Amino acid sequence: MIRASVVGATGYAGAELVRILSGHPEVRLSMLTSHQYAGQLFSDVFPAFFQRVALPLEEFDTRKLAECSDVVFMALPHSMPMTMVPELLQGGCRVVDLSADFRFSDPFAYEVAYEPHRAPELCRHAVYGLSEIFREKITGASLVGNPGCYPTCILLPLLPLATPGWLDLSRVICDAKSGVSGAGRGVSLATHFCEIAQAFKAYKVGEHRHRPEIVNVLEMVTGEKSRLTFVPHLVPAIRGMLATTYVSLREEKSEAELRERLRDAYRGNDFIRILPENSFPDLSHVRGTNCCDIGLRVDRESGMLILISAIDNLVKGAAGQAVQNMNIMWRLEETMGLGALPPVV
Amino acid sequence: MIRASVVGATGYAGAELVRILSGHPEVRLSMLTSHQYAGQLFSDVFPAFFQRVALPLEEFDTRKLAECSDVVFMALPHSMPMTMVPELLQGGCRVVDLSADFRFSDPFAYEVAYEPHRAPELCRHAVYGLSEIFREKITGASLVGNPGCYPTCILLPLLPLATPGWLDLSRVICDAKSGVSGAGRGVSLATHFCEIAQAFKAYKVGEHRHRPEIVNVLEMVTGEKSRLTFVPHLVPAIRGMLATTYVSLREEKSEAELRERLRDAYRGNDFIRILPENSFPDLSHVRGTNCCDIGLRVDRESGMLILISAIDNLVKGAAGQAVQNMNIMWRLEETMGLGALPPVV
Amino acid sequence: MIRASVVGATGYAGAELVRILSGHPEVRLSMLTSHQYAGQLFSDVFPAFFQRVALPLEEFDTRKLAECSDVVFMALPHSMPMTMVPELLQGGCRVVDLSADFRFSDPFAYEVAYEPHRAPELCRHAVYGLSEIFREKITGASLVGNPGCYPTCILLPLLPLATPGWLDLSRVICDAKSGVSGAGRGVSLATHFCEIAQAFKAYKVGEHRHRPEIVNVLEMVTGEKSRLTFVPHLVPAIRGMLATTYVSLREEKSEAELRERLRDAYRGNDFIRILPENSFPDLSHVRGTNCCDIGLRVDRESGMLILISAIDNLVKGAAGQAVQNMNIMWRLEETMGLGALPPVV
Amino acid sequence: MIRASVVGATGYAGAELVRILSGHPEVRLSMLTSHQYAGQLFSDVFPAFFQRVALPLEEFDTRKLAECSDVVFMALPHSMPMTMVPELLQGGCRVVDLSADFRFSDPFAYEVAYEPHRAPELCRHAVYGLSEIFREKITGASLVGNPGCYPTCILLPLLPLATPGWLDLSRVICDAKSGVSGAGRGVSLATHFCEIAQAFKAYKVGEHRHRPEIVNVLEMVTGEKSRLTFVPHLVPAIRGMLATTYVSLREEKSEAELRERLRDAYRGNDFIRILPENSFPDLSHVRGTNCCDIGLRVDRESGMLILISAIDNLVKGAAGQAVQNMNIMWRLEETMGLGALPPVV
């Protein structure tokens, strides 16, 4: 049994980790930390888990974590993990960090997007945890930088079409939409039910920090310079994310060829579902699952390729992919503990 | 492996059965029927199940069902199952019927609430499938009348307190609230998103057919004459049901005594969670689970006992309890296939 | 023109006052106060009002308010207005207070429900602003205690049936449901979109402070001792409130008689709509309006009278009734500025 | 008083017309037609309007309409109005048609997008009712083709920037999002609350009929050939529409210059609100109003211009603009009857 701990267990991603790991047949939950709720039970904070998860919430404690954990999942805001991870690694744990701190192999790239890095030497040892793309590197990793939700949703359809040079990466437009849980569990007027329930808006227009992450991976994988216009929007739904990406084809390709390329690239990857002709993703179809659904259209008038992809931001976009990465690191069945079916409704 | 079939697999309860049975380790799904969608794949109708459930939808066919099924789940509107079930039983299947057709052992009681019964001789052989209460009878049953969602939600807190004679059953008031999926998957202006999303109303005020079902079971179990005022309301949520029941205590009881009585009654029943003092159910805490959460208060001013209970109407209120009953009938672990944790959010 | 000011203009009730008063043909908005947002424009805080309401938000200032206002609307949490109102009255303003501070003519009753009153001598001069019931007293009032939302919704159907002695007030059960805006604009996990959007629960079970307010008015008007069991619930809708009240009839009355009595009582009152037979309120039908819709049923089995009433909690339950009271105080057409039709959808 | 009638008064746009016209000081509602509900009262179909709108619903009758109406609003699906409008015009009415039938001055363009036109000679006499742009022509029109909701929302920000030749119209990408009322009041599984409430998806990807309408106007106004990629999405909100448009600038322009150009173009147009720097529209800010809010950003990395615009699809996108056009036709104050403020929440 893998002994797993969750640091920051009371945010939405952390709690989703607890939920998924609780049902994982090869995992025993060891320690849950929460600064805000230390001393309470996890199920005091999430009463839905009354009589289901019995663990207490504790203050962060490197030594204790290192002793009781084979893997530590970090579910904290960026800038915190980079001060904690070095000692956890020294203590012998493997770490999956869900923040942005270890998503850039170049600490300067991190600094441009965020702030000066305080563990720069670790950056190049961390593996970017986009499971289907970097599986081999993840296997041997001791530190995985789990991808952002938008990068996961946007890169999965783009990469297999970009690597053969089919796409004009100099002008990619990505119009993305996220459910409200993406804003986290912190309280704010911006997530007040009354302000959201019949609203829809763009936010961080052209300024979201997931843009450099996406561009970074796109350029690293293709070796091409890329320019991405990225506008995220807030959907009045609890979970889920859908991205509509517009990109020109360098050479004419039929929808069938493009779809076939995606199918080839993801054959054997149960979580990536390439939808048939005239089918497009709906975020309700991936809710609660670790799936990324992908549909595409070549627009008959403009010739533009339209890629539409959807994930559950808390699962494939956070906790689910983190557990998938753990499965890869321990060479378990990659879908283990992640088999939940979507709700009928 | 139990070979299970679902008749009416494209309504919400039927599809939820498909979802739950797909993940059940001792079940193999045999046949799914749908009159409206016969000839299509289940996943054509529910695209969320693309590459997850591969079965086709077929027309109802007694012989074929009987041959390929050990158990048949009927998820049809009332009045249809009573014409189909006799032959299925003769064909050697056991049947769990989710409609009202076999919930009354007295066919005349059924007739008063619904219409003349066309298989009256079967009524007294059917077992009422309120799992925690009628477990022993269910074990040997060949035909289970699965309870209505409101009766499940309302009877579970009431029965253990009513059997010792603690409650004044002559004046029980039950104010119940259901999510929209309770109205079914049929199209209607009443379930149009725009008519519901910011609405809340009572419906079938004093006229809902679940009242006689509740009263019937209450009187059967307690031997007392009961009078129930019952008003269901429609909540703008997809799933879930919450009932607030007001009843006078015949003799003074503390909250602690009442809670203890419920804990005793349901000890060992994992799906019934008696909440601690000052905790009350929220339908979001039972979503996707087979749980019934129960909270209670003795009102300090009026002395009235307030019982609050919540279930997921499609799980404990329909498909989940049906599978729980199958587990009981086959003497499997009662929670098998029903272990889904609630969503974090 | 009446010069009107709003103290606490950035809560939901305060902002709704600003919205309604902006469109009132006999009102000129004078001063808006907000401690949290002083120095900003109202439309900075509520961007929907960009280019529509140009007023700044200022710190509370008794002298300034008194000078520039004929009427001051207090939209602050309870316990604050009682320290401010005496000087405003001395300054020559008339005041409509939306908090609980002046809803009890007996300061001791206030103390039991809330805390010691700091302007007890004013309590008996304040008029309870349930417009349709206390219209005459309101006309001459200098200080109106605007009713709570639940009391408004629950008392309007009850009072005309209780005054002739038709109801058994010793056992009234009121199961009430409110939209989320009733919880105010303050940030809290309890109003986070993700915690609410698919949830439904009871809160303050048997403990809500609107119960003594309701009982107080009921007893004052009828002269009878009353016992009320009151359970409020939270509906995942932005606005609106619906109450289902269960009460026994002292003598047999037909639905027609009861409806006729209500029609008589409210004849000429445009905001009270007595629905026809078999029609029941929906909170979406009163959204944005100052209406209270009332439906009723005599339950055929239990003989219990079921009263269902709905209001918009921010309009008839707060700002709308406050403006209606101002109209009464200034002997304007009572519906002036309050004629908004409900949305089609 | 203008005598106004609504044909198709029980769809959402038709009913919204009834609501707005009921409150218009210079209008008397004459006749409401509905095939489905003829013989009932409008308020039977829309119970929110009980005691507010007393008119009956009647079968369509050209002669009767012509006699009793100065203006007829057609709120029917496309292809029906073109058979009815000729006689209404002959009968002396002026007509505002909310369908697509008279939006194309070239009947062949209509045929390409829809079907053969049955009143082709009328097409060139109809005026396209984008009020702020074609005000002068509308003044004298007897037949106005009221614009589609998407064209209204997308063209208003684009046109003033395109006419001076600032935009590269050969590659415009428009990612649009509509509330569910845009799908109409007809019943369908696609608008079932349970299928929508936690969903988000694209629909008619690259195939929506509003694309040719947008391109047609864009080319007509600018004289330039345009290519538009258009993907509409469905937001789980009742009302509202938001469009995010991506277009390259032909020459470098600052955000300030672009904003100034829009302010100039729309000076004196109360319904168009050009938001200040760093402010972007939210569909909740225009709900219930006839406003179009416009925000913009020049993306610092790609140089792309991002235009974000929002309207209420049933008001500025349908009924409100229709009434605005009537005001223009009768030379009334253009905002008359359209002054509703947005909800606070």
Of B229, B233, B284, the CB nearest to C302: B229
In a domain, A74, yes or no: yes
**Any A CB within 8 A of D204 CB:** no
In angstroms, the CA B187 to CA D193 distance is 10
**Record: contact B50-A285, CB cut-off 8 A:** yes
pLDDT band at D301 (very low <50, low <70, confident <90, very high): confident
In angstroms, the CA B85 to CA C272 distance is 52
Q: How far is D253 from chain A (nearest CA, A)?
A: 17
The active-site residue, picked from A93, A123, A149, A153, is A149
Q: Where does a domain end: C125, C159, C178?
A: C125
> How many CB pairs below 8 A link A and B?
95
Give the residues of chain C that fall short of pLDDT 50: none
In angstroms, the CA C110 to CA C102 distance is 8
- Residues of A within 8 A of B284 (CB-CB) are 48
CATH number of the domain enclosing C247: 3.30.360.10
- Sign of the Cα torsion A318, A323, A326, A332 reads negative
Q: Are residues B121 and B167 in the same domain?
A: no
The pLDDT score that the predictor gives to residue D170 is 96
Q: How far is D314 from chain A (nearest CA, A)?
A: 14
pLDDT digits (tens, 9 = 90+) for A251-303: 999 999 999 999 999 999 999 999 999 999 999 999 999 999 999 999 988 89
Q: Are residues B281 and B193 in the same domain?
A: yes
**Record: contact C344-D282, CB cut-off 8 A:** no
The pLDDT score that the predictor gives to residue C301 is 86
pLDDT band at D258 (very low <50, low <70, confident <90, very high): very high
Q: Where does a domain end: D92, D125, D158?
A: D125
Cα-to-chain-centroid distance, residue D36: 24
- Residues of B within 8 A of C236 (CB-CB) are 235-237
**Any C CB within 8 A of D55 CB:** no
What type of residue is C32?
A: L
Q: Are residues B308 and B172 in the same domain?
A: yes
pLDDT band at D38 (very low <50, low <70, confident <90, very high): very high
DSSP class per residue in B211-222: HHHHHHHHHHHH
Of A19, A197, A293, the CB nearest to B344: A19
Contact A232, A214 (CB under 8 A): no
Q: Looking at the DSSP assignment, which residues form a beta bridge with residue C6?
A: C32, C73
Of D201, D211, D284, the CB nearest to A199: D284
The pLDDT score that the predictor gives to residue B147 is 98
In a domain, D139, yes or no: no
Chain C interface test: which of A36, A178, A194, A314 (most C C-beta within 10 Å): A194
CATH number of the domain enclosing B59: 3.40.50.720
**Record: contact B237-C199, CB cut-off 8 A:** yes
What type of residue is B276?
A: P
In a domain, B322, yes or no: no
Q: Are residues B10 and B114 in the same domain?
A: yes
pLDDT digits (tens, 9 = 90+) for D119-148: 999 999 999 999 999 999 999 999 999 999
**Record: contact D48-C314, CB cut-off 8 A:** no
**Record: contact A15-B270, CB cut-off 8 A:** no
Of A180, A189, A198, the CB nearest to C194: A180
In angstroms, the CA B96 to CA B5 distance is 10
Nearest residue of A to residue D198, measured between CA atoms: A237
Q: Are residues C102 and C196 in the same domain?
A: no
Site of tokens 């179990």: B221
Q: Looking at the DSSP assignment, which residues form a beta bridge with residue D41?
A: D56
**Any C CB within 8 A of D23 CB:** yes
Stated as kind and residue range, the H or E segment containing D231 is: strand D228-234
Site of tokens 């304040």: C126
In a domain, B32, yes or no: yes
**Any C CB within 8 A of D294 CB:** no
Q: Are residues D98 and D162 in the same domain?
A: no
Q: How far is C172 from chain A (nearest CA, A)?
A: 32
Q: Looking at the DSSP assignment, which residues form a beta bridge with residue C230?
A: C174
Kindly report the average pLDDT of chain D as a whole number. Answer: 97
**Record: contact B345-A279, CB cut-off 8 A:** no
The pLDDT score that the predictor gives to residue B151 is 98
pLDDT digits (tens, 9 = 90+) for B203-220: 999 899 999 999 999 999
pLDDT at residue D300 above 90?
A: no
- Residues of D within 8 A of A203 (CB-CB) are 280
In angstroms, the CA D80 to CA D65 distance is 16
Count of domains observed in chain B: 2
Q: Is D94 helix (H, G, I), strand (E, B) or coil?
A: strand
Q: Are residues D39 and D103 in the same domain?
A: yes
- Residues of D within 8 A of C51 (CB-CB) are 270, 273
**Record: contact C344-D12, CB cut-off 8 A:** yes
In a domain, B217, yes or no: yes
In angstroms, the CA C131 to CA C268 distance is 13
Q: Are residues B95 and B169 in the same domain?
A: no
Nearest residue of C to residue A186, measured between CA atoms: C189
The active-site residue, picked from D149, D174, D291, D292, is D149
**Any A CB within 8 A of B282 CB:** yes
Chains that touch A (3 or more CB pairs under 8 A): B, C, D
Q: How far is B9 from chain D (nearest CA, A)?
A: 16
**Measured CA angle at B202 (ends B199, B208), to 5 deg:** 140
* Residue B239 domain boundaries: 150-313
pLDDT digits (tens, 9 = 90+) for D67-84: 999 999 999 999 999 999
**Record: contact A273-B51, CB cut-off 8 A:** yes
In a domain, A107, yes or no: yes
Chain D interface test: which of B34, B45, B193 (most D C-beta within 10 Å): B193
Chain A interface test: which of C185, C193, C201, C203 (most A C-beta within 10 Å): C193
**Any D CB within 8 A of B180 CB:** yes
**Any B CB within 8 A of D181 CB:** yes
Helices (H), chain D: 12-22, 42-45, 62-68, 81-90, 107-113, 120-123, 131-139, 149-162, 193-196, 210-222, 255-266, 283-286, 320-329
pLDDT at residue B300 above 90?
A: no
The pLDDT score that the predictor gives to residue D114 is 97
Mind telling me the catalytic residues of C? 149
Letter string b/e over residues B131-169, b meaning 16 or more CB atoms within 10 A of that residue's CB:
bbbbbeebeebbbbbbbbbbbbbbbbbbbbbbbeebbbb
Closest CA to B243 of B311, B159, B316: B311
In angstroms, the CA B103 to CA C197 distance is 34
**Record: contact A198-D301, CB cut-off 8 A:** no
In a domain, A261, yes or no: yes
- Residues of C within 8 A of B205 (CB-CB) are 280, 295, 297, 306, 308
**Record: contact A238-C189, CB cut-off 8 A:** no
**Record: contact B200-C235, CB cut-off 8 A:** yes
What type of residue is C84?
A: M
- Sign of the Cα torsion B37, B40, B42, B47 reads negative
**Any B CB within 8 A of C281 CB:** yes
Closest CA to D71 of D7, D137, D2, D1: D2
Q: CB D136: neighbour CB atoms within 10 A?
A: 10
- Residues of D within 8 A of C238 (CB-CB) are 345
Closest CA to C11 of C76, C59, C55, C73: C76
The pLDDT score that the predictor gives to residue A134 is 98
Structure tokens, C83? 């320290």
The pLDDT score that the predictor gives to residue A301 is 86
Nearest residue of A to residue B238, measured between CA atoms: A345
Q: Is D87 helix (H, G, I), strand (E, B) or coil?
A: helix
pLDDT digits (tens, 9 = 90+) for A124-147: 999 999 999 999 999 999 999 999
Q: Are residues D114 and D184 in the same domain?
A: no
Contact D236, B193 (CB under 8 A): yes
Chain C interface test: which of A10, A192, A238 (most C C-beta within 10 Å): A192
Residues 6+ apart with CB under 8 A from C257: none
pLDDT band at A91 (very low <50, low <70, confident <90, very high): very high
Q: Are residues A305 and A165 in the same domain?
A: yes
Give long-range contacts, CB 8 A cutoff, 24+ apart: A275-282.
Answer: A275/B47, A275/B50, A279/B47, A279/B50, A280/A308, A280/D201, A280/D202, A280/D203, A280/D205, A281/A242, A281/A308, A281/A309, A281/A310, A281/D201, A282/A242, A282/A310, A282/B47, A282/B48, A282/D199, A282/D200, A282/D201
**Record: contact C236-B235, CB cut-off 8 A:** yes
If contacts are CB pairs under 8 Å, which of residues 24-43 in chain D contact chain A?
none
Kindly report the average pLDDT of chain B as a whole number. Answer: 97
Q: Are residues D244 and D169 in the same domain?
A: yes
In angstroms, the CA D23 to CA B198 distance is 23
Q: Are residues A40 and A189 in the same domain?
A: no
In a domain, B170, yes or no: yes
The pLDDT score that the predictor gives to residue B254 is 97
DSSP class per residue in B131-196: HHHHHHHHHT-SEEEPPPHHHHHHHHHHHHHHTTT-B-GGGEEEEEEE-GGGG-SS--GGGBHHHH
**Any A CB within 8 A of C345 CB:** no
